[in-house]
Amino acid sequence: MSSLLESPGATRGLLVVWTLAWVAALLVYDRRGALRRARIAKVAASLGFVAAGGLAAAGLDGPAGGALVAAVVACLVGDGLLSYPGRRAFLAGTAAFLVGHVGYAVAFWAAPAPSPAPPGAVAGAGGAVLAMGALALVRVAPRVDRGLFVATAAYVLVIATMVAAAVRLGPSRPLVAAGAVAFALSDLSVAEDRLVAPSFLHRAWGLPLYYAAQLAIAFGMGAVR
């Protein structure tokens, strides 16, 4: 077992299997309405990307490693909070994810980028996420109060910054950019499910995409081309 864990590829494979197995369980429990079991499965799945992020952080110098650890832990907390119903849990979970996205943005900006993307690509990525977020805000606006709308708008700004920072890393860390974009897309399912029209279908595509995004970011931060 020790020799298996010494292989980065084998370790990643184990984390992928662990995470996907718990995501599958999460969706089954969610569909059946077994909310307590779904909550446990969600946290267990999140421990997969926390472990992956911790391993990646160990190989990063300077503030990037600490920021990455803070990001994955904040997302774990957010996952736990968002597994509960109600406005207070949603706001608390959103706040945790705000911290997580800030942590990711700091990690991405602090990480070495041997071949950074051109400024135009970075600005374009951030602008695209802002445009996508603006469309989501249009759908959300009639259904939420002012406070929740402001919190959602702030979230859009932060995740756009995070995606731009990920794209800046360029071809040296392609998984990071892919994961950040997938993370932003998965957030659309959360907004639609919690703020517009609750439906298992939103979670059925959003949750697998979210966990794939988290693993892609962690694995991408752990290796440089």
Amino acid letter at 182? A
H-helix segments, 33-170 = 35-57, 63-82, 87-110, 119-140, 146-168
Q: How far apart are CA 60 and CA 88, in angstroms?
A: 36
Amino acid letter at 4? L
Tokens 């290796």 label which residue? 223
Neighbouring C-beta atoms of residue 188, cutoff 10 Å: 18
Q: Which pLDDT belongs to residue 6? A: 55
**Nearest one of 66, 68, 93 to 80, comparing CA atoms:** 93
Q: Which pLDDT belongs to residue 2? A: 43
Report the domain count for the chain.
1
Q: Which pLDDT belongs to residue 3? A: 47
Q: How far apart are CA 80 and CA 96, in angstroms?
A: 10
Q: What is the DSSP letter of 58?
A: T
Angle at 13 between CA 7 and CA 18, to 5 degrees: 130
Q: Which pLDDT belongs to residue 5? A: 45
Domain of residue 200: give its range: 2-221
Q: How far apart are CA 48 and CA 148, in angstroms?
A: 30
Query: What is the block-wise mean pLDDT of the chain (225 residues), using blocks of 10 residues?
Result: 58 94 97 95 97 93 94 97 89 93 96 89 94 91 86 92 94 92 94 90 96 96 70
